[in-house]
């Protein structure tokens, strides 16, 4: 009986204990208590550089929060009962017990409380460091919203509950490509590892590239080889071309030169992980018998590229097993070959190009169907897929661009599709529309695609804009609700007149920002950030005003223009679109210009790629409105009147076949009452030449988007009629020009009838 009674009593006690524990709140560890602490930070003597940084960052953050500086000690000096272990070693392996820390990936980590101890350990390259930053963010409330705005909460007592948190990134390569994301401090704390961020080895390094994309001419330079070996370069329409073309990828000598060059890159850049072997940023693929046969057999121009990269990867892979070789699936190589498969050490970087849609998610929009199909097909042809995903407007970095509806869905979609890394291209000139918010949201999604995006956005807006955050959030929601409900399919080349920036929308936006600025008028730093967020609305309003000025000679609002220029200067903004300094747009706002809209145009003329401006064509030697000439593909071309005499932009893609690659000419006459000096304002897509009275006055070979007054040229007009001939070449997509006289008050009239 005594034995049975004893057993029953023991069971009763155990039951009471279980019942009590199940209703007790989680235990709390007090890392600091009223500004004091018994804890030490334990760091191994063989800690990696990033683990040393992590220990110091943790120590510094806790001191800023509580005023208590925890000592950093080595394991043999950690003879206390309360310890924070940083990094994987024999001691932490023993403490966590059931986890093999040695098996963790280089960016994987665990945060775990064990008794009175806290363990933050992971891969020594960046894992432990990311674990510390995650602990500070998720459990202590720290934030690093921008390079200038961070938050370390103040609390004398720092308590945490039970933690058992194991994480690794969803994507191995994570690059928000914005100037605002390149800052070392921001990139580290937000766990991005892209090649453009300032992340040297001493802070854990990054996924480093050597010779980042468009590298064919770096591998086999035309200036070194073309004269003596033209067969190394593309055969186009029966002629070898060494400028603005590609390589003859099936030429065995080209393959051997490339192998030697890539090996030199590896030796010169031992820290780089990926070596880019990729097509130049234009077309001009080789049409020789060998290249054409392979591409035709495989049903894609990507075949010659994949075979070429595979040959280099085969030659160097065994000697350099930790290196990868990256190539683009871009423009003419976007779809994969039928049978060729990329080697295991080859990365395919698929580019999300227009006309894909940025207003709607990839999976839900018919405009994205081909791109999604190409992604699915490439997944069968390569083990590693990186994606080049555009998250800005290339033509208008500063334009309101409500693409977060797509971003929040597209990153999880890529993860579901098995994509390994993502390059999110914004802009690297600073100050782009919502660039800091995009960078922050992208960083969170690239680490964890399941994150609550609305919570991330609210957290950012509150941290960066303070009391002004709610009206800015209402503006954000308004823009994205319009994009969500509309049938508009905007993309990286859309103009502000796409349809959602109506006068009513801009007026509402102005109201939201006026309220936001009023709420923080007494806080200069926050007020400046709100004004930068307001800048895209100013840009849109000024863009429309400049268009009206071009088409009706109405003036731009000088007060609005001055405010815009001030914000641009304060934030050191360099560009408003890809390849164009913002000075061109500012000149449009500043110069009193009269745009010439009455033109005779002719084209397109065929010519070797990249040689259009230099190729002498009939309009340069004669102007004869009665003659026809041989144009692209042998089609007859003749002078025709530009039909839109009230439109400043002369759009050659409207006048001619949109997909033509060649050159076009525009002709007009300007009347001057006497001889005097003036200026011409010229904008072009792409390169441009200008003759005044048959004398070449301007020659600017360039790839760019056309905006007014990109080039301003001093000229002297003769008394009477002056002949102006403009030549513009084309490298793809948009094609056109603007032309103005910058001192219009001196010009009596433009010729309205050509002789």
User: DSSP string of 55-108?
Assistant: HHHHHHHHHHHHS--PPEE-GGG--SS-EEEES-SHHHHHHH-S--GGG--TT-
Mean pLDDT for the chain overall: 91
Look up the pTM and report it: 0.88
Among 290-294, 593-597, 721-725, where is mean pLDDT lowest?
A: 593-597
Mean pLDDT of 535-544: 95
Among 111-125, 458-472, 607-621, where is mean pLDDT lowest?
A: 607-621
> Tell me: the pLDDT tens digits for 33-46?
999 999 999 999 89
Mean pLDDT of 359-373: 94
- Percent of the chain at pLDDT above 70? 93
Predicted confidence at residue 662, as pLDDT, reads: 84
- Cα(511)–Cα(523) distance, integer angstroms: 20
Give the single-character DSSP code of 337: P
Predicted confidence at residue 34, as pLDDT, reads: 97
Mean pLDDT of 454-476: 98
Read off the pLDDT band of 727 (50, 70, 90): very high
Mean pLDDT of 358-379: 95
Tokens read off for 545:
């005003």
Q: List the domain boundaries for the chain.
A: 29-168, 208-336, 501-590, 594-750
- Cα(141)–Cα(66) distance, integer angstroms: 13
3-state secondary structure of 741: strand
Check: CB of residue 188 under 8 Å from CB of residue 203.
yes
Mean pLDDT of 523-532: 98
Backbone φ and ψ for 737, nearest 5 degrees, come out as: -155, 160
Q: Are strands 29-32 and 143-144 parallel, antiparallel or unpaired?
A: unpaired
User: 92-97: which pairs have CB atoms within 8 A and are 24 or more residues apart?
Assistant: 92/119, 92/121, 95/119, 96/121
Predicted confidence at residue 723, as pLDDT, reads: 96
Put residue 603 in one of left, alpha, beta given phi > 0 → left and psi -120 to 50 → alpha. Answer: left
Mean pLDDT of 190-208: 95
How many Å is the maximal CA-CA distance in the chain?
128
- Cα(305)–Cα(247) distance, integer angstroms: 10
Residue 683 has pLDDT above 50, yes or no: yes
- Cα(745)–Cα(755) distance, integer angstroms: 25
- Cα(387)–Cα(194) distance, integer angstroms: 13
Mean pLDDT of 415-434: 95
Read off the pLDDT band of 751 (50, 70, 90): very low
Read off the pLDDT band of 610 (50, 70, 90): low
- 4-8, 25-29, 471-475, range with greatest mean pLDDT: 471-475
Predicted confidence at residue 658, as pLDDT, reads: 59
The CATH code that applies to domain 594-750 is 2.60.120
Looking at 3.40.50.720, 3.30.379.10, 3.30.930.10, 1.10.10.10, the CATH number of the domain 29-168 comes to 3.30.379.10
End-to-end CA distance of the chain: 126
Predicted confidence at residue 612, as pLDDT, reads: 80
3-state secondary structure of 251: coil
- Cα(437)–Cα(342) distance, integer angstroms: 36
Read off the pLDDT band of 660 (50, 70, 90): low
Of residues 487, 481, 450, 543, the one with CA closest to residue 357: 487
Predicted confidence at residue 22, as pLDDT, reads: 34
Predicted confidence at residue 609, as pLDDT, reads: 65
Residue 435 has pLDDT above 90, yes or no: yes
Predicted confidence at residue 24, as pLDDT, reads: 37
> Tell me: the pLDDT tens digits for 63-81?
999 999 999 999 888 788 8
Tokens read off for 114:
């064990």
Predicted confidence at residue 553, as pLDDT, reads: 62
Residue 462 has pLDDT above 90, yes or no: yes
Predicted confidence at residue 745, as pLDDT, reads: 53
Among 205-214, 526-535, 570-579, where is mean pLDDT lowest?
A: 570-579
Of residues 46, 45, 42, the one with CA closest to residue 71: 42
Give the single-character DSSP code of 746: G
- Cα(461)–Cα(673) distance, integer angstroms: 58
Check: CB of residue 432 under 8 Å from CB of residue 397.
yes
Mean pLDDT of 354-364: 89
Read off the pLDDT band of 11 (50, 70, 90): very low
Give the single-character DSSP code of 368: G
* Residue 301 CB coordination number (10 Å): 24
Sequence-ordered strand ranges (E) for 569-639: 575-577, 580-581, 594-595, 600-605, 629-630, 636-637
Burial zone of 23 (CB within 10 Å; 0-12 exposed, 13-18 middle, 19+ buried): exposed
Residue 674 has pLDDT above 60, yes or no: yes
Strand partners, 669: 723
Q: Please count the residues of the chain.
A: 755
- Give Cα separations from 456 to 341, 358, 387, 400, 441 (angstroms): 39, 21, 23, 20, 7
Helices (H), 270-346: 289-298, 302-317
Predicted confidence at residue 586, as pLDDT, reads: 87
- Give Cα separations from 433 to 398, 402, 561 (angstroms): 5, 10, 18
- Cα(573)–Cα(563) distance, integer angstroms: 14
- Percent of the chain at pLDDT above 90? 75
Read off the pLDDT band of 234 (50, 70, 90): very high
Contacts of 68 (CB under 8 A, 6+ apart): 32, 35, 36, 37, 62
Predicted confidence at residue 15, as pLDDT, reads: 38
* Residue 730 CB coordination number (10 Å): 23
Q: Are strands 600-605 and 150-151 parallel, antiparallel or unpaired?
A: unpaired
Residue 307 has pLDDT above 90, yes or no: yes
Residue 13 has pLDDT above 60, yes or no: no
Of residues 695, 665, 431, 386, the one with CA closest to residue 539: 431
Predicted confidence at residue 659, as pLDDT, reads: 60
* Residue 680: its H or E element: strand 676-685
Secondary-structure breakdown of the chain: helix, strand, coil percentages, each rounded to the nearest 5: 40, 20, 40
Residue 6 has pLDDT above 50, yes or no: no
Mean pLDDT of 628-652: 90
Check: CB of residue 730 under 8 Å from CB of residue 662.
yes
- Cα(125)–Cα(123) distance, integer angstroms: 6
Predicted confidence at residue 710, as pLDDT, reads: 86
Predicted confidence at residue 18, as pLDDT, reads: 35
Helices (H), 524-676: 524-552, 558-570, 583-590, 652-655
Contacts of 541 (CB under 8 A, 6+ apart): 506, 557, 560
């Amino acid at each position: 009986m005594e034995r049975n009674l004893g057993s029953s009593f023991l069971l009763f006690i155990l039951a009471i204990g279980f019942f009590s524990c199940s209703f007790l709140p989680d235990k709390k560890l007090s890392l600091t208590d009223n500004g004091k602490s018994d804890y030490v930070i334990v760091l191994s003597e063989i800690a990696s550089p990033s683990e040393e940084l992590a220990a110091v960052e943790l120590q510094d953050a806790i001191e800023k929060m509580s005023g208590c500086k925890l000592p950093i000690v080595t394991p043999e000096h950690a003879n206390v009962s309360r310890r924070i272990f940083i990094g994987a070693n024999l001691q932490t392996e023993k403490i966590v017990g059931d986890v093999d820390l040695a098996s963790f990936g280089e960016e994987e980590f665990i945060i775990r409380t064990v008794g009175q101890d806290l363990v933050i350990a992971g891969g020594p390259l960046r894992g432990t460091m990311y674990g510390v930053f995650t602990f500070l963010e998720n459990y202590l409330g720290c934030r690093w919203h921008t390079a200038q705005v961070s938050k370390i909460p103040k609390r004398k007592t720092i308590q945490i509950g039970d933690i058992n948190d194991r994480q690794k990134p969803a994507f191995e390569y994570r690059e928000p490509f914005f100037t605002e994301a390149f800052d070392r401090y921001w990139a580290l704390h937000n766990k991005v590892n892209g090649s453009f961020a300032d992340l040297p080895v001493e802070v854990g390094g990054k996924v480093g590239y050597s010779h980042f994309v468009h590298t064919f001419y770096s591998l086999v330079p035309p200036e070194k080889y073309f004269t003596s070996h033209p067969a190394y370069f593309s055969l186009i329409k029966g002629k070898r071309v060494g400028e603005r073309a590609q390589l003859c990828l099936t030429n065995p000598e080209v393959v051997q030169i490339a192998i030697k060059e890539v090996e030199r890159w590896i030796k010169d850049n031992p820290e780089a992980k990926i070596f880019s072997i990729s097509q130049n940023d234009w077309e001009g693929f080789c049409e020789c018998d060998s290249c054409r046969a392979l591409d035709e057999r495989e049903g894609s121009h990507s075949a010659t590229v994949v075979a070429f990269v595979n040959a280099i990867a085969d030659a160097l892979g065994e000697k350099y097993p930790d290196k990868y070789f990256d190539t683009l699936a871009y423009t003419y190589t976007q779809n994969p070959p039928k049978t060729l498969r990329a080697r295991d050490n080859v990365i395919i970087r698929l580019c999300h190009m227009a006309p894909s849609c940025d207003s709607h998610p990839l999976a839900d929009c018919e405009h994205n169907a081909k791109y999604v199909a190409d992604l699915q097909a490439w997944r069968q042809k390569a083990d590693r897929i990186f994606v080049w995903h555009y998250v800005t407007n290339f033509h208008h970095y500063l334009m309101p661009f409500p693409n977060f509806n797509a971003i929040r869905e597209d990153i999880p979609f890529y993860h579901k599709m098995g994509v390994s890394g993502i390059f999110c291209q914004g802009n690297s000139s600073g100050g782009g529309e919502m660039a800091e918010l995009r960078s922050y949201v992208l960083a969170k999604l690239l680490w964890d695609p399941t994150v609550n995006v609305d919570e991330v956005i609210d957290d950012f807006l509150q941290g960066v804009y303070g009391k002004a955050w709610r009206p800015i959030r209402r503006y954000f929601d308004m823009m994205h609700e319009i994009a969500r409900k509309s049938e508009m399919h905007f993309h990286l080349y859309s103009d502000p007149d796409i349809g959602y920036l109506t006068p009513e929308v801009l007026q509402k936006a102005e109201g939201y920002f006026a309220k936001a600025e009023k709420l923080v008028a007494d806080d200069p730093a926050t007020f400046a950030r709100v004004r930068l967020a307001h800048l895209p609305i100013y840009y849109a309003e000024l863009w429309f005003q400049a268009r009206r000025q071009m088409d009706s000679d109405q003036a731009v609002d000088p007060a609005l223009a001055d405010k815009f220029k001030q914000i641009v200067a304060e934030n050191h903004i360099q560009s408003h679109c890809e390849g164009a300094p913002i000075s061109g747009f500012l000149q449009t706002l500043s110069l009193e210009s009269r745009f010439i809209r009455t033109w005779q145009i002719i084209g397109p003329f065929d010519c070797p790629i990249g040689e259009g401006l230099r190729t002498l064509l009939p309009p340069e030697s004669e102007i004869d409105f009665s003659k026809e000439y041989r144009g692209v593909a042998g089609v007859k071309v003749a002078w025709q009147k530009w039909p839109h005499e009230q439109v400043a932009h002369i759009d050659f893609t409207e006048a001619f076949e949109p997909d033509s690659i060649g050159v076009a000419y525009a002709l007009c006459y300007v009347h001057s009452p006497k001889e005097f000096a003036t200026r011409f304002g010229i904008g072009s897509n792409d390169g441009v030449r200008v003759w005044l009275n048959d004398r070449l006055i301007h020659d600017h070979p360039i790839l760019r988007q056309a905006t007014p007054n990109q080039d301003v040229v001093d000229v002297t007009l003769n008394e009477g009629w002056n002949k102006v001939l403009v030549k513009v070449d084309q490298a793809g997509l948009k094609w056109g020009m603007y032309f103005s006289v910058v001192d219009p008050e001196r010009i009596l009239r433009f010729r309205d009838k050509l002789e």
